[in-house]
Amino acid sequence: MSAKIACDLRYPNPSIQNHSDVRLFLGLKVLLFTLLIPGTVILYFPYSMVLGSATGLHIASLLLALPAGVFILVGLAIYLRCAWDFAVDGLGTPAPIDPPKHLVISGLYRRSRNPMYQGVLLLLLAECLLFPHAGLWIYVGSIALVFQTFVVFYEEPALRKRFGTAYADYCRQVPRWGFAVRDSSSK
């Protein structure tokens, strides 16, 4: 991609005057990112793995389909809410090349520093429950390890550098993984 196109995607046209147009543009960028990155991680690789297996795309058990369906609904809701917060509150995208301009500590980010990754992992776990393929479990474990490594060695240092004490305070109040029972904004 040329530098001009990358610049145009990162900074909306100056003729866009109002906030709703900027947020619409951000929404389109979030949608593009979602299709490319989480879409590949959640759909392309797992389904390629399952379709290439001896069992193919067959649901393992109807009993496991119910919790898998719950994981899908919850994981999708988490991801969409987080993407919304990045665009609306942070004025950016989940993509490291176009991060939010403001520290996002609203919505689910009041209870967890990484809810979007947790939503993706729930979606992947749903696939593990649906399709009997041992490779999917290894894949999910590998993705979780990649998330942990990325968060600890890239994302947190970059956020600490970018947002300083505001991010340090946030880290003291909100857990990296899991969800705090108490809302961090009530402390």
Q: Which domains does the chain have, with CATH numbers?
A: 3-186 (1.20.120)
In the prediction, which pLDDT does 3 show?
A: 41
CB atoms within 10 A of CB 129: 21
| Closest-CA residue to 50 (of 145, 143, 138, 117) | 138
In the prediction, which pLDDT does 42 show?
A: 94
Size (the chain), residues? 187
In the prediction, which pLDDT does 187 show?
A: 52
In the prediction, which pLDDT does 184 show?
A: 66
**pTM for this one?**
0.84
CB of 113 within 8 A of CB of 174?
Answer: yes
CB atoms within 10 A of CB 153: 10
One digit per residue, the tens of pLDDT, for the chain of length 187 reads 444 434 444 445 444 446 677 777 888 888 889 889 999 999 999 999 988 877 777 777 889 999 999 999 999 999 999 999 998 899 888 988 889 999 999 999 999 999 999 999 999 999 999 998 899 999 999 999 999 999 999 999 999 999 999 999 999 999 999 998 877 665 5
CB of 55 within 8 A of CB of 133?
Answer: yes
